[in-house]
Chain A
Amino acid sequence: MNLAGRMIAKGKASGPVLKSEVPVGFFGHLDCDTGVYKEAGHPFDGECVKGKVLVFPRAKGSTVGSYVLYALKKTGQAPAAMVLRECDTIVAVGAIIGEIPTADCVDIAQLHDGARVTVEDGEIRME
């Protein structure tokens, strides 16, 4: 099954879904060296984002978050792709400079933890 989205950052990548129903903050929560997300009570708390397709409604927090996504790419800990309901400037810039395929305007209710999906130029394919 395919889900239509809007391309934010181009490219093709596959991986298992890691999903949060609540906004995700990059700056201050993601350890760039280990790829582990830390925020007490958050669905991503303790999870490693490396190679995952992050699915979340939208981002929150500092604009420095763009540089965190870039840093994750450089340390090899970046998510494979990102899928959002609503993408903001912080994630868009971070996805482009970190070269992480990203789509938004997606009905994320269709995507569940652990499912394998491919994101390509804004389109999401579920396997």
Chain B
Amino acid sequence: MKLSPSEEGLLEGRGGKGASRAMEILAALGRIHNAADMVPVLSVQVSGISYRNIGEHGLAFLEEWAGQGSKAVVPAYMNPGGADRKLWRSLGVSADFVDKQNRVIAALQKLGVKPTLTCTPYHAVPRPSLGDHLAWSESSAVCYANSVLGSRTNREGGPSAIAAALAGCAPRHGLHTDEGRLPTTVVEVRCPVPKAADAGALGYLIGRLLSHDPRGGIPFIRGVEPPADKTREAWLKALGAAMAASGSVGLFHLEGVTPEAVDAGMILMAAAGRHVPVESLEVGRRALFSAKGRPNVVALGCPHASLDELHRLEALLKGRRAKIPVWVFVAEAVRAKARRSGLGGRLETLGVTIIADTCIVVAPLAEMGVANVATDSAKAAFYLPSHQGVGVYFESQEDAVEAAVAGELGKAQGAAAP
């Protein structure tokens, strides 16, 4: 693979040991994927930062890298860590865990990565645009950036994203290239998909259908449209997050909706080899239901919620106080906005806790006393049983909020519970 003189310089150590290691990682990944060269990236998002996931060895590595004196040369943002830096104590996280998590964050800050601590940087920092090259790594953020914004990023790992931040570039292959963005499979949807949770169930099924696609599945989805109202963005976010979780999908095209499927739809479709129908979401909804008892909390904001979604939650509560605690996960920037406008305070009096810096998937739920959750997130419903041993009532946000207010589960789901 071809490196520019400045990239060769980094490799040889002209940018310090940290940048040299970064370039060595990027060059090796470029060779593995037959990349022609490096592409400059506009921004970086670093995942794999929850102490719960990376443990002492991950922390030791990050501290060593941070000690080598190199810094990010492009804007770089952190994915959620394991604890809300303000509310951790009241949420039951141990001081020991928070200490380790803070060391991870400090090491990354030393490397020049900003503590946005969110999986939805597009709700917290300037949005990238159509055609912008990025090196993002959290799976739902990657899927949203590629599909909805039309930006171009591969699914980077934690270390390779840090490497991209230090070098300002990433190997040009896969989703950075035109041919790497062509769909592999046409998905014909033949059932209604009205709500964000339904989009999540659809995304989960699509991910399952595509998980064995050899070059990484890229669906071209037809027969369905997101709602035209303010829930549109949440719907698209839920769809992508779910297929990223169940099928490692980094890009979807939605006919007539996503930027690359508006103009070139038919050309894209012709490139896809396989057609599969989705006749019903029921199989997906059932597979995502794993609760073993009454939920301790209703968890919303996976991926992190926007300010619009917080307003919608207030509208759904209609002034009623929740009997089951409602946790909604957001970026700190979104929480700060909500607090300034008074929305945050109003939600809190209704039994809602707005949690930042972490999320339901990566927080240490066992030490927080969570055994079962109700959620509208197919992504959370996919990960929680296997990663955290937590059972999930998967239902729409409307039903989850009604359950929280009533202090019991919705009738339909309650009847389905084992």
Which of the candidate stretches A39-47, A62-70, A108-116 sits at the interface with the other chain? A62-70
Complex contact A89–B158 (CB within 8 A): no
Contact partners of B372 in chain A: CB under 8 A: none
- Which of these, A71, A90, A96, contacts B60 with CB under 8 Å? A71
B3: CB under 8 A from chain A? Answer: no
Cα A63 to Cα B58 with chains together (Å): 11
Complex contact A96–B28 (CB within 8 A): yes
- Which of these, B25, B55, B60, contacts A93 with CB under 8 Å? B25
B159: CB under 8 A from chain A? Answer: yes
- Minimum CB–CB distance for B19 against chain A, Å: 13
- Which of these, B28, B48, B55, B60, contacts A74 with CB under 8 Å? B60
B57: CB under 8 A from chain A? Answer: yes
- Which of these, B54, B57, B157, contacts A89 with CB under 8 Å? B157
B346: CB under 8 A from chain A? Answer: no
Complex contact B160–A93 (CB within 8 A): yes
Cα A92 to Cα B53 with chains together (Å): 20
- Which of these, B24, B25, B32, B61, contacts A70 with CB under 8 Å? B61
B257: CB under 8 A from chain A? Answer: no
Q: Which residue of A lies closest to B60 (CB)?
A: A74
A117: CB under 8 A from chain B? Answer: no
B272: CB under 8 A from chain A? Answer: no
Contact partners of B159 in chain A: CB under 8 A: 66, 93, 97
Cα A96 to Cα B61 with chains together (Å): 12
B29: CB under 8 A from chain A? Answer: yes
B31: CB under 8 A from chain A? Answer: yes
A41-99, CB < 8 A from B: 63-64, 66-68, 70-71, 74, 87-90, 92-93, 95-97
Contact partners of A95 in chain B: CB under 8 A: 28
B21: CB under 8 A from chain A? Answer: yes
Cα A42 to Cα B60 with chains together (Å): 29
Cα A71 to Cα B61 with chains together (Å): 8
Cα A97 to Cα B162 with chains together (Å): 12
A100: CB under 8 A from chain B? Answer: no
Contact status of A70 and B157, CB under 8 A, knowing A92-B28, A93-B25, A96-B24: no
The interface residues of chain B, by DSSP majority, are classed as: helix
- Minimum CB–CB distance for A27 against chain B, Å: 10
B24-80, CB < 8 A from A: 24-25, 28-29, 31-32, 48, 53-55, 57-58, 60-61
- Can you list, as one digit per residue, whether each of A1-23 has a CB less than 8 Å from chain B (1) or not (0)? 00000111110000000000000
Contact status of A32 and B57, CB under 8 A, knowing A90-B157, A96-B24: yes
- Which of these, A10, A32, A68, A92, contacts B32 with CB under 8 Å? A92
Contact partners of B57 in chain A: CB under 8 A: 32, 67-68, 70-71, 74
Q: Which residue of B lies closest to A68 (CB)?
A: B57
A104: CB under 8 A from chain B? Answer: yes
- Minimum CB–CB distance for B38 against chain A, Å: 16
B28, B48, B55: most-surrounded residue (chain A CB, <10 A): B28
Cα A24 to Cα B137 with chains together (Å): 24
Contact partners of A92 in chain B: CB under 8 A: 25, 28-29, 32
Contact partners of A88 in chain B: CB under 8 A: 32
- Which of these, B28, B32, B53, contacts A64 with CB under 8 Å? B53
Cα A74 to Cα B55 with chains together (Å): 15
B21, B24, B157, B159: most-surrounded residue (chain A CB, <10 A): B159
Contact partners of B54 in chain A: CB under 8 A: 64, 67
B68-114, CB < 8 A from A: none
- Minimum CB–CB distance for B218 against chain A, Å: 19
Complex contact B29–A89 (CB within 8 A): yes
- Minimum CB–CB distance for A49 against chain B, Å: 16
Q: Which residue of B lies closest to A75 (CB)?
A: B57
Cα A66 to Cα B57 with chains together (Å): 10
Q: Which residue of A lies closest to B156 (CB)?
A: A89
Cα A10 to Cα B25 with chains together (Å): 11
- Minimum CB–CB distance for A120 against chain B, Å: 16
- Which of these, B21, B32, B48, B53, contacts A87 with CB under 8 Å? B32
Cα A49 to Cα B57 with chains together (Å): 18
Sample of 28 A–B contacts (CB below 8 Å): A6-B31, A7-B28, A8-B28, A8-B32, A9-B24, A9-B28, A63-B157, A63-B158, A64-B48, A64-B54, A64-B55, A67-B54, A67-B57, A67-B58, A67-B61, A71-B57, A87-B32, A88-B32, A89-B29, A89-B32, A89-B160, A92-B29, A93-B28, A93-B159, A96-B25, A97-B61, A97-B159, A104-B32
Known: A64-B54, A67-B57; 19 extra A-B contacts, CB below 8 A, are A7-B31, A8-B28, A8-B31, A8-B32, A9-B28, A64-B48, A64-B55, A66-B157, A67-B55, A70-B61, A71-B60, A74-B57, A87-B32, A89-B160, A92-B25, A93-B25, A93-B159, A96-B24, A96-B28
